[in-house]
Amino acid sequence: MLFNSFEFCVLALCTFGLYYLPFMRKGQVPLLVVASLIFYGWSSFDFLGLLLICITLNSVIRYYINTQPDRARQKLAATLGVILNLATLAIFKYAGLLGQLFFDPASNVGAFLLSIPLPVGISFSTFHSISLLIDVYKDKGKPAEQRLIPAPRTLPGALLQDSFYISFFPQLIAGPIIKAHEFLPQIRTKYWADIRWTDAFRALVTGYFLKIVVADNLAEFTHELSVPSLYMMSNVYRISLLLGYSVQIFADFAGYSLIAIGLCHLFGYRLIKNFDFPYISKSITEFWQRWHISLSTWLRVYLYIPLGGNRKGSARTYLNLMIVMLLGGLWHGAAWSYMVWGGYHGLLLVSERFLGQYIRMPRHGLVDLLRMIVVFVLATLGWLLFKLNDFDHVIQYVQMVLHAPLAWGDLANPRLYHIFLYAIPVFLYHAWYLLRRSPGWAPRLERMEPILLSILLFFTLFNTGLKAEFIYFQF
């Protein structure tokens, strides 16, 4: 069920209409759980049972950790739960890759592994489940007065809380990945006064504009960034398509995240910011502090720091960075191209950290602009591995761009103008962020914001592209 579909609008409006009624105050969480299961089951009914089984198993383990006084048994239960979640993810997401590597696709085992379908949103629900077990285990080890996560008195109570946390529909399919210790303490009765109307309106309008105006319109052109179409176009058009895809993937995913955040505001809950204007980053390290923040922080908290982080010397730090980025790439999909993408960013991070010991960049506006352009180009090149899943096609694209003439005459192609037209709002969006930090511009932009939001709303209503799934639904 897409956020821009008629069915979703009906579900969201009915749920919101009931949510704040006085007689529903004790039933708010069950209402949202039911709405979330309808949301998931509408487009993925075959896997609704799997979702419920996973939630139940994690909730039973969570309840055991809460009620078990022995710390060693708590740790054992949490460890087994994490292994169980990772095994489930591996079976459904990586069975096909394992089948290709270790079995003949024509054999019974190979054919079976390749036939296992991928449940929608399993990567996100799995990360939520792992966060639940780890955070509850850590919280249980604190003195009672310092604990953040409420401990349900009964197993049904734990099941209700955990069902809500894992399946809450705004973030069920594609995040943001909110950690259990950030979300569970928010579960309480909500009132009309808890709605952050301004934040909700800003996030929803901006999110829908990015998704259905920018991303969906660009999708009509960037589908040509594929083989064999690449062989029959000019270099200028090839480069423009990759630029368009870089803007599209940001607008698509950042738009989804903003819609999710806005919906949560309407129900009295807060999600963390998932994108913080990543295309103005002056380094790859900064890029990962601004891009898909919920994933990068999850990997840092639950993987990078436990591996030792940067506390065990430079060589170990570089190794930890590579491990985290390779696994982060593999998290996106069971294909070598995703792992190469993770390795690519890992090498950039390691190189940047190494060179940073010897090179100090001067602080100057032009230098900062040049660094932003370099980081944008490097990140954009990486998106080739998302768009062209066959690594040979990525190599062919790079070779064609390097060796074919630019053919500037192709700038007259009207399709190029459409790509740039829908890319410009994203660059203006980032420029608006930079200007907003300037003392001279901040008051003016604050006064202009209602007008700008009205313009975005107008285009959202009257200039939508062809309806398309969110890119991150496949992860």
Report pLDDT for 97: 79
pLDDT, tens digit, 9 for 90 and up, residues 111-159:
887 788 888 889 999 999 999 999 999 999 998 888 889 889 899 999 9
Q: Which two tokens stand for residue 294?
A: 């919920």
Average pLDDT over residues 407-436: 86
pLDDT > 90 fraction of the chain, expressed in percent and rounded: 63
Whether the pLDDT of residue 34 is over 70: the answer is yes
CA distance 89 to 92: 5
Give the dihedral sign, CA 293/298/301/303: negative
Long-range pairs for 335-340 at CB < 8 Å and ≥24 separation? 335/97, 335/389, 336/391, 337/385, 337/386, 337/388, 337/389, 337/390, 337/391, 337/394, 338/385, 338/386, 340/385, 340/391
pLDDT tens-digit readout, 147-187: 889 889 899 999 999 999 999 999 998 879 999 999 999 99
* Contact between 125 and 86 (Cβ < 8 Å): no
What pLDDT is recorded for position 408? 65
**pLDDT exceeds 70 at position 475:** no
Positions marked active-site: 332
**Average pLDDT over all residues of the chain:** 90
> Using one digit for the tens of pLDDT, what is the confidence trace for 294-339?
999 999 999 999 999 888 888 999 999 999 999 999 888 878 889 9
Q: Residue 468: CB partners within 8 Å, gap ≥ 6?
A: 215, 216, 219
pLDDT above 90 (res 67)? yes
* Arithmetic mean of pLDDT, 68-88: 95
Query: From CA 235, how far away is CA 242, in angstroms rounded?
Result: 11
| Total residues found in the chain within this entry | 475
Residue 409 clears pLDDT 70, i.e. is over it? no
- By the 8 A CB rule, do 216 and 471 touch? no
Amino acid identity at 240 = S
Task: Report the sign of the C-alpha dihedral through residues 323, 324, 329, 335, in that order.
Answer: positive
pLDDT value for 383: 94
Distance CA 327, CA 135 (A): 21
Mean pLDDT of 65-73: 93
Average of per-residue pLDDT across 391-402:
88
Spans of all domains in the chain: 6-194, 197-474
In single-letter form, the type of residue at position 418 comes to: H
pLDDT of residue 109: 77
Torsion angle, alpha carbons of 306, 309, 313, 319, to 10 = 90
Residue 474's pLDDT is: 65
Flag whether pLDDT at 230 surpasses 90.
Answer: no
Residue 195 confidence (pLDDT): 93
